[in-house]
A and B are shown apart, each in its own frame.
Chain A
Amino acid sequence: MNTTIMLFLLQDGITNGAIYALLGLALVLVFAVTRVILIPQGEFVTFGALSYAMLATGQVPGTARLAVAMGVVAFGLDLYAARRSLRLKLVVRSVLLNIVLPVAILALTYALAGPKTPIAINIALSLLIVAAIGLFLYRIAFQPLAHTSVLVLLIASVGCHLALQGLGLVFFGAEGLRGPALSNAAFTVGPLRFTGQSIAVYGLTIAFIIALWLFFGFTLMGKALRATAVNRLGARLVGIRTTLSGQIAFLLASVIGAISGILIVPITTLYYDTGFLIGLKGFIAAIIGGLVSYPLTAVAALVVGSVEAFSSFYASNFKEVIVFTLILPVLVLRSLAAPAVEEEKD
């Protein structure tokens, strides 16, 4: 191996690592606020990426219709939950959020989709669609379970992953898709070639890390979200709307997932089930970060990306084996370091 290859591998690793970092951040965010370990994060990635790729070919992706369907279910749940005290204001709000919003997004998609639609509009549409799906996913699957244990939430999360991945196959088919690059600019530094795409990956990752850190550390809303995570009842007693916190967390996570997807779909071909593996790698980074620390997660993601790049060069067959085994020593260290507090489970 020479320095050039090493630099190439490192560059590759950092680009992938940045994506994992984004996903890891989203996972930490969702876990910190709702205690949900968001396995379907990978589906947000594929939904975002493949919706974008389909829109680029002028077709309306099935995810837009899924958002409407999920909105209808969410509306039904809202009505059922509030059946004792149905107030007009509540119903109107629910209709606006759960029915009008996704229908508007669907209508907008039909109106704007076409082979000549600018990239920016396609990106905006994909983000809107996935954001709506994320929002409704929380309402349908997790809000009714919000009081249960991390374990129940985890199993539900796996259920959502299965359902969404299956839907992904229905919407996008078994064939992989690639999307157009965000920018075709490129420049070289020494032996390395930087594309506009990879610069966008770095830039957005750093921007998100800083934004999340600021949001959670310095804004009232961010602190409220963290309070919800620690103690739902306590948070409610001091006037924090815990449901809203969960919705915001899922909204952010789905948008981050979709952005990650849109960032990588011009670089690699994505299949309906690729998201799971990508998500899991973000996951490993998030776990190394202990599901709490954003900067640590970002650093860990870069390590995961680099390990993956180097192992795909040296032992390409065992790439996944190596990446997924990476987690074990970390988990051991984590649980040794964790204080032996009694977990009160119910």
Chain B
Amino acid sequence: MTQRLPLIIFAIVMAVIPFIPGIPPFWIVLLDNIGLAALVAMGLVLLTGVGGLTSFGQAAFCGFGAYTTAVLTTAYGVSPWLTLPLSLLVSGIAAVLLGIVTVRLSGHYLPLGTIAWGIGLFYLFSKLEFLGRNDGISGIPPLSIGGFRMLDPGTIYFAIWIAVLLSALLTMNLLDSRTGRAIRALRRGHIAGEAFGVQTPRAKLLVFIYAAVLAGLSGWLYAHFQRAANPTPFGAQAGIEYLFIAVVGGAGYVWGAVLGAGIVVILKEILQSYLPYIFGGQSQLETIVFGILLVVLLQLAPTGVWPWLMSRLPFKPARKIPDTSLELPARVRAPSTPSVLLHIDKARKQFGGVIAVNDVSFDVGAREIVALIGPNGAGKSTTFNLITGVLTSTSGAISVLGTKVDNAPPQEVVKLGVSRTFQHVKLVPDMTVLENVAIGAHLRGHAGAISSMFRLDRADEARLLAEAARQIERVGLGDQIDQLAGSLSLGQQRIVEIARALCVDPLLLLLDEPAAGLRHMEKQRLAALLRQLRDGGMSVLLVEHDMGFVMDLADRIVVLDFGTKIAEGTPTAIKTNPDVIKAYLGATA
């Protein structure tokens, strides 16, 4: 329960603050504002810092939350507590609609899109008759419990901060789970996650909705705190400010959102009250300082204040060691394993005029190690990508266990028991080895986002982590289990990828240059591991440049050159094949 202790202390401190005698009421107002901003920023932490989806439009979702309750309570006399779920629902639905359109946007199109609809929605709020146009809606009733009405900032303070603490708790729970790992892998691109069954678009939409609902909650609280709603706080400027808060605090950290909100709200207050004294009565000076600070911050501390603070703490949070005695049920397999696992028939891939893979055919049988070799640019990695569904083939047929997989998405291929590693390592560097490897077991767990948030996933989660720990032990990285993946050497990272692939419980393991960057002894250990896997019933297809390693290990070798298969056979036959020697050395030597 060490993780909970700081949270409990923080909750107690926040609960005590209003009762400190002589605390200026204005400070409470500031704390209210900090809490409101922290809620939105927390959504952004998940969306931008963790998921890598930048949104400048979060303020619009606050608007949905605020206006929903404003309209329902003033025009229809609905109780504020009844409008809470409705506010969240409206923000969520808005997020689904906008998300379906925007989340699929790639790269910088996404932030641009959010700016555009952020501004569009702001104008919509300020033009619609039933939302009171530019004047907005006033006379919103306060929150009340029985006869107790939360009229002043000191009472709604509790509602706001309970919301903040609960949201922080739920968000941290979510991040520390099967779904959370899928979300955390989003930022590094979609290919690695999808190779292990993560439905990337769905995960993106999930964080998008989650962030919007938090913003809607903040908007709902804001409406009952101000007792009025007008378009200004939901415009593009506010959207930018929320992102600023997340970046200042540390966009990857839940508490960074709270810290960032504190820093920015207080700074803004100070700037607004003192700048006019220094520079005369001009308004908006704080935006100048704000803008400059944002640029300076990005140049000096791009990761934000929270991680900077944490790295200065004298103690490090202890990590739980997974209980490896728990068994994860094996992946559901076909009742009998056919003799041919992978059948490739005249697979072809063209990029415009370039034929990367030219009608290549070969099979991988059960309990067999097949090596795919060839000079650089021979089409080896492209073949891997065709098998695993990363690329769609131009023509030809690929089948796994008799099921056609050409043009199937990667998530379907992995379900058949084909898992892979990547030539360019695709790990999440700021996740531990254990967490990275656990992504491999994604399809063997079942807990969803909601159950993770409420910690109903613990049994499922413990089994996943146990399996991950077992595979890490198996590949010989037990000592590095708690290190960040980014801190390992490249060779070790490749081994981590193998452990992750093993977590799928695969029938066929595709390894793309697994021995690159390994020392001699490590290569020996890897070869031993692969033989042991084969003897245990697994097949391996590997791309490798180390001829000694390949010739020693492989049962059969397929040689590609310029996308075409030029030879296939046992290592001894390949060594003396004149075509192969010509392809590698340029002439018959």
The residues of B that contact A334 with a CB separation of less than 8 Å are 105, 109
Q: Digit string of B273-304 for contact with A (CB within 8 Å is 1, else 0)?
A: 00000000011111111111111001100100
**Chain A residues numbered 302-346 whose CB sits less than 8 Å from any CB in chain B:** 317-318, 320-321, 324-325, 327-328, 331-332, 334-336, 338, 342-345
Q: Does B124 contact A (CB under 8 A)?
A: yes
Whether a CB of chain A sits under 8 angstroms from the CB of B107 is: yes
Among B104, B189, B244, B298, the one with the most A-chain Cβ atoms within 10 Å of its Cβ is: B298
Q: Are B116 and A328 touching (Cβ within 8 A)?
A: yes
Query: Please, what's the 1-or-0 string for A222-235, where 1 marks a CB less than 8 Å from any CB in chain B?
Result: 00000000000000
A151 within 8 A of B: yes
- Check if B106 is an interface residue, CB within 8 A of chain A: yes
Which B residues form the contact surface with A (CB < 8 A)?
52, 54, 56, 101-102, 104-109, 111-113, 115-117, 119-120, 123-124, 127, 187-191, 240, 243-244, 247, 282-295, 298-299, 302, 424
Q: What are 12 A-B pairs with beta-carbon distances under 8 A?
A: A141-B295, A145-B299, A155-B243, A156-B295, A156-B299, A158-B294, A162-B287, A166-B290, A170-B288, A280-B115, A335-B109, A345-B189
Q: How far is the CA of A167 from the CA of B287 in the complex (A)?
A: 9
> Which A277-291 residues sit within 8 Å CB-CB of chain B?
280, 283-284, 287
Query: Contacts A152-B302, A165-B287 given: A332-B112 contact, CB under 8 Å?
Result: no
Q: With A and B bound together, what is the CA distance between A332 and B102 in angstroms?
A: 7
Q: Is the CB of A331 within 8 A of B108?
A: no
Q: Mark A135-176, 1 if CB is under 8 A from B, else 0.
A: 000001100110010111011101111111111011000000
Within the complex, the shortest CB–CB distance from B385 to chain A, in Å, comes to 10
A residues 258-302 near B (Cβ < 8 Å) are: 280, 283-284, 287
Interfacial chain B residues near A336, Cβ < 8 Å: 104
The answer to whether B101 touches A158, judged by C-beta atoms less than 8 angstroms apart, is: no
Residues of A contacting B107 in the complex (Cβ-Cβ under 8 angstroms): 150, 343
Q: A residues engaging B (CB < 8 A)?
A: 37, 140-141, 144-145, 148, 150-152, 154-156, 158-167, 169-170, 280, 283-284, 287, 317-318, 320-321, 324-325, 327-328, 331-332, 334-336, 338, 342-345
> What residue in chain A is nearest B133 (Cβ atoms)?
A317
Q: Is the CB of B290 within 8 A of A320?
A: no
- B187 contacts which chain A residues (CB < 8 A)? 345
| Residue in B244, B284, B295, B299 whose CB lies within 8 Å of A160 | B295
A161→B294 CA distance, assembly (Å): 11
Q: How far is the CA of A155 from the CA of B298 in the complex (A)?
A: 8
Considering the complex, give the chain B residue whose CB is closest to the CB of A150: B108
A284-B116, A320-B119, A332-B105 known; A162-B52 Cβ under 8 A: no
| Seed contacts A37-B108, A321-B124, A331-B112; 18 additional CB < 8 Å A-B pairs | A144-B299, A148-B302, A156-B299, A161-B291, A162-B287, A162-B294, A163-B287, A163-B291, A163-B292, A165-B284, A165-B287, A170-B282, A283-B112, A320-B119, A334-B105, A335-B105, A342-B191, A343-B189
Contacts of B108 in A (CB 8 A): 37, 150-151, 154
Contact A155 B189 (CB under 8 A): no
Known: A158-B56, A170-B282, A321-B120. A331 touches B109 (CB 8 A): yes
> Among A156, A162, A280, which residue has its beta carbon within 8 angstroms of that of B290?
A162
CA distance in complex: A169, B107 (Å): 33
B282 and A169 contacting across the interface, CB-CB below 8 Å:
yes
Give A134 to B563 CA distance when docked, in angstroms: 49
Chain B CB within 10 Å — which of A37, A328, A344 has the most?
Answer: A328
Given contacts A150-B108, A156-B295, A345-B188, contact A167 B56 (CB under 8 A): no
Chain B residue at minimum C-beta to C-beta distance from A276: B236
Q: Which residues of A contact B188 (CB under 8 A)?
A: 345
CB of A224 to closest CB in B, whole Å:
23
A335 to B285, CA, bound (A): 39
CA distance A160 to B297 in the complex (A): 12
The complex places the Cα of A163 from the Cα of B295 at a distance, in Å, of 10
Q: Among A159, A166, A167, point to the contact of B298 (Cβ < 8 A).
A: A159
7 pairs of A and B residues whose beta carbons are closest in the complex? A163-B291, A159-B294, A162-B291, A166-B288, A324-B120, A166-B287, A320-B123
- Please determine whether B104 and A332 come into contact, CB atoms closer than 8 angstroms: yes
Do A159 and B295 have beta carbons less than 8 Å apart? Answer: yes
**A315: nearest chain-B partner, CB-CB:** B127
CA distance A3 to B107 in the complex (A): 43
Report the minimum CB–CB distance from A103 to chain B (whole Å).
22
- In the assembled complex, how far is the CB of residue A26 from the closest CB belonging to chain B, in whole angstroms? 16
Contact indicator B119/A287 (Cβ below 8 Å): no
Among B282, B285, B294, point to the contact of A156 (Cβ < 8 A). B294
Is B284 touching A166 in the complex (CB atoms < 8 A)? yes
Which chain B residues lie closer than 8 Å to A37 at the CB level?
Answer: 108, 111-112
B356 to chain A, nearest CB (A): 14
- Is the beta-carbon distance between B119 and A160 smaller than 8 angstroms? no
- Minimum C-beta distance from B51 to chain A (A): 12
Most A C-beta atoms less than 10 A away, residue of B52, B247, B299, B302? B299
CB distance from A20 to the nearest CB of B (A): 14
Measured between C-beta atoms, what is the minimum distance from B430 to chain A in Å? 11
Which residues on the B side are within 8 Å of A145 (C-beta)?
Answer: 298-299
Q: Shortest Cβ distance from A173 into chain B, in angstroms?
A: 9
- CA gap between A331 and B107 in the complex, in Å: 11
From A169, which residue of chain B is reached at the shortest CB distance?
Answer: B284
By beta carbon, the residue of chain B nearest A142 is B295
The reply to whether B290 and A343 contact each other, CB–CB distance below 8 Å, is no
User: How many whole Å from A331's CB to the nearest CB in chain B?
Assistant: 5
A81 to chain B, nearest CB (A): 12
Find the A residue at minimum CB distance from B124. A321
A152-B298, A163-B288 given; A321·B127 CB < 8 A: yes
Give complex CA distance A342, B284 in Å. Answer: 42
Question: Nearest-CB distance from A180 to chain B (Å)?
Answer: 27
The complex places the Cα of A280 from the Cα of B111 at a distance, in Å, of 13
Instruction: State how many angstroms separate the Cβ of A201 from the closest Cβ of chain B.
Output: 25
For A325, list chain B residues within 8 Å (CB).
116-117, 120
Could you say which residues of chain A place their CB within 8 Å of the CB of B123?
Answer: 318, 320-321, 324
Chain A CB within 10 A, most for which of B123, B247, B282: B123
A327, B116: Cβ atoms under 8 Å?
yes
**A155-B294 in contact (CB<8A):** yes
Minimum CB–CB distance from B76 to chain A (whole Å) comes to 25
- Are A335 and B104 CB-contacts (below 8 A) given A145-B299, A328-B117? yes
Chain A residue with minimal CB distance to B290? A162
Question: Closest residue of chain A to B297, judged by CB?
Answer: A159
With A150-B107, A343-B106 already in contact, the answer to whether A156 and B298 are too (CB < 8 A) is yes
Kindly list chain A residues whose C-beta atoms are within 8 Å of the C-beta of B244: 155, 159
**A154 touching B52 by the CB < 8 A rule?**
no
Q: Which of A37, A148, A284, A320 has the most CB of B within 10 A?
A: A320
Task: Tell me the minimal C-beta distance from A135 to chain B in angstroms.
Answer: 16
Q: Report the minimum CB–CB distance from A34 to chain B (whole Å).
A: 13
Alpha-carbon distance between A342 and B109 when the two chains are bound, in angstroms: 15
**A169 in contact with B298 given A158-B240, A331-B113, A343-B189 (CB within 8 Å):** no
Q: Which residues of A contact B124 (CB under 8 A)?
A: 318, 321
Q: A317 CA to B123 CA in the complex, in Å?
A: 9
For A342, give its contact among B120, B190, B247, B282 (CB under 8 Å).
B190
Once the chains are docked, how many angstroms separate the CA of A338 from the CA of B190?
Answer: 15
Bound form: Cα–Cα A345–B424 in Å? 13
User: Smallest CB-CB separation from B188: which chain A residue?
Assistant: A345
Distance in angstroms between the alpha carbons of A167 and B247 in the assembled complex: 23
A335 CB contacts on chain B under 8 angstroms = 104-106, 109
Closest-by-CB residue of A relative to B237 is: A162
A328 with B113: CB separation less than 8 A: yes
**Residues from chain B with Cβ under 8 Å of A163 in the complex:** 287-292, 295
Chain B residues, CB < 8 A from A165:
284, 287, 291
Q: Are A344 and B189 in contact (CB under 8 A)?
A: yes
CB neighbours (8 Å) of A160 from chain B are 291, 295
Interface centre among A140, A321, A345 (most CB of B within 10 A): A321
Nearest Cβ on chain A to B311's Cβ, whole angstroms = 19
| A163 to B292 Cα, complex, angstroms | 6
List of B residues within 8 angstroms of A169 by Cβ: 282-284
Known: A162-B240, A163-B292, A320-B120. A338 touches B52 (CB 8 A): no
